[in-house]
Amino acid sequence: MGTKLIIDTDPGVDDAFAIALAAVSADVDLLGVTTVFGNVPLAMTTANARRLLQLCDRPDVPVAAGAARPLVHRNERNSTVHGVDGLSGRAGSLPEATRPLEPQDAVGLMVSLLEASDEPVTIAPIGPLTNVAALLAAHPGVRDKIARIVLMGGGMAHGNITAAAEFNIWADPEAARRVLSEDDVPCVMVPLDLTHRCAVDSAWLAKLASSGPIGKALDALTPDYLAHYRRVLGYDGIVMHDAVAVAEAINPGLLRTETYPVNVDTSAGPSRGQTLVDRRPALQDPGAQPGRLIEVATDTDLDGLREFVLTRLIEAR
Ligand code: BDR
Ligand code: CA
Reported as a single tens digit per residue, the pLDDT across 24-41 is 999 999 999 999 999 999
Which CATH architecture describes the domain 3-315?
Answer: Alpha-Beta Complex (3.90)
8 A C-beta contact, residue 205 and residue 266 = no
The CA distance from 300 to 283, in Å, is 24
| Cα 127 to middle of ligand 2, angstroms | 4
pLDDT value of residue 151 = 98
For the annotated catalytic residues, the residue numbers are 241
What is residue 289's predicted lDDT score, i.e. its pLDDT?
58
CA-atom Rg of the chain in angstroms = 18
Spatial contact of 136 and 185, defined as CB atoms under 8 Å apart: yes
Distance 167 CA to ligand 1 centre (A): 6
Of 297, 202, 205, 212, give the one whose Cα is nearest residue 246. Answer: 297
Q: What is the pLDDT of residue 241?
A: 98
Residues contacting ligand 1 via CB (< 6 Å):
12, 14-15, 39, 79, 126-127, 152, 160, 166-168, 241-242
Choice between 315 and 196, residue whose per-residue pLDDT is larger: 196
Task: Report residue 146's pLDDT band, with 50, 70 and 90 as the boundaries.
Answer: very high
Q: What is the rounded distance in angstroms from the CA atom of residue 101 to the CA atom of residue 139?
A: 22
Question: What type of residue is 135?
Answer: L
Closest C-alpha to ligand 1, atom 4: 39
Nearest in space to 192 (alpha carbons), one of 223, 162, 222: 162
Looking at ligand 1, which residue's alpha carbon is closest to its atom 6?
A: 12
CB-CB contact of 150 with 124 (8 Å): yes
Å from CA of 86 to ligand 1 middle: 11
Residue 284 binned pLDDT confidence (cut-offs 50, 70, 90) = low
Rounded to two decimals, what is the model's pTM?
Answer: 0.97
Residues of the chain above pLDDT 90, percent: 92
Query: What is the per-residue pLDDT for 214?
Result: 97
